[in-house]
Amino acid sequence: MKKIEVVAAIIYFENEIFCVQRPVNKLSYISEKFEFPGGKIEKGESKEEALKRELIEELDFTPTKIESLFLTVVHKYPDFELTMHSFKCHSETKNIQLNEHIYSQWLTIKDIDKLDWAEADIPIVNRLIENE
């Protein structure tokens, strides 16, 4: 089974978190699901370097601060195994541009579980709620 290692950003502005929706995908289990923005770690990159690069590529966004690792999730999808390292980040604005996603929403933690999340992101959502 193919293994993919990625990073994801839990972006905060004040008490809200930035949630993005994936576009339509041939893989139905991730098509149009919500996720935390991020992407694959390239050879030679640290997790933090990969996260900064991915956020610039996907959102034209540079976080004001990246905190230490929040949670690593290992999830087996039907076609691949995903290892996702999530980090809390902070933004000085809610004005973030979408370059790859089809929709975004800023939500408080009490509302975050109302979205249709990709399965690998659900443990992060649950940990955020538990830590609230």
In this structure, what token pair is assigned to residue 14?
A: 């004040």
Give residues with Cβ within 8 angstroms of 128, minimum separation 6: 10, 17, 109, 112
Structure token digits, residue 11: 């972006």
Mean pLDDT by 10 residues, the chain (132 residues): 96 97 93 97 96 96 93 96 97 95 97 97 97 86
What is the C-alpha to C-alpha distance for residues 114 and 91, in angstroms, rounded to an integer? 23
Tokens 């290692």 correspond to: 5
Enumerate domains of the chain plus CATH numbers.
Answer: 2-131 (3.90.79.10)
Q: What is the pTM of this model?
A: 0.95
